[in-house]
Amino acid sequence: MAETHETNYLVLADRAVPYLLARVRWPDVAQAVSAASPYWLDDPGLFDLPYDPSAVAVSFVQAASVAEGWGWRLHTEAAEDALSYIRRMPANWSDLSPSERRAWGIEFVGRGRAPTRGTLRPTVATSNLHEVANERRGDVRVKLDGRVHIRCGNTTISAELVDFSRRGAGCVLTKASLLVTSGVTLAGPFLLEAEADKSRICLDVSSRIRWYRSTGAGTRFGVAFADLAMDESEGVEGVLAAAGRS
């Protein structure tokens, strides 16, 4: 579906798990919510968030998925009765103060994203892993029911998840899309919904469609990730471990 750029949606994540969702539209909308504080707060410091390296710009579809994971529905209209948060200025979203953490109920999260790129050692029991024929990613995968929302320019591709690994995902798109073809690069981010535990992770990583084929269920395709940041790898490890146990 086509996206609008009138309002910018951004998330802050800890180990790839979103903990703060913001919407910003200069000069009249600067609001944010969290899982622990589902009421929008007005904060002029949010106008600085799009320029902070810790923030991940997401589409409305991806932002709505984050909100749904917290048990509420995201509306396109800004909240008119939002409370105001008086903060220190300038804002530093990579190093939140105790007052800022309390305002959104995020005292125990918000560790800055590590710049180091790399892959953690596997922790999922091999008995729970599923090898897929003709796999090009060279990494074992786990079967994973859920959905994935991949931002591609002004469009978000929403597909069913088939399996997942540290290096990519297998997906099924019920309707054909001109964007799904071998070699296409997707700038990201990549938002994954795990059905079993209702968890969500947001990977600020580019990806490439490595293969695709038509099936009776739709178009099946494989996505390969670029290198993940260390905290993103930790978030992926958590999803894989949960999927392996189930």
Residues 181-199 pLDDT 10s: 888 888 889 999 999 888 8
The domains of the chain are located at 8-104, 126-245
Residues 45-88 pLDDT 10s: 999 999 999 999 999 999 999 999 999 899 999 888 898 987 76
Tell the residue number behind the tokens 């007005």, with chain if given: 42
User: What pLDDT is stored for residue 138 in this prediction?
Assistant: 53
Q: How far apart are CA 29 and CA 80, in angstroms?
A: 10
Q: 174-183: long-range contacts at Cβ-Cβ below 8 A with a sequence spacing of 24 or more?
A: 174/217, 174/218, 175/218, 176/214, 176/218, 176/219, 177/219, 179/152, 179/155, 180/209, 180/212, 180/219, 180/221, 181/209, 181/212, 182/209, 182/210, 182/211, 182/212, 183/208, 183/209
Class of domain 126-245: mainly beta
Q: Among 111-115, 117-121, 146-150, which range has the highest average pLDDT?
A: 146-150
User: What pLDDT is stored for residue 135 in this prediction?
Assistant: 41
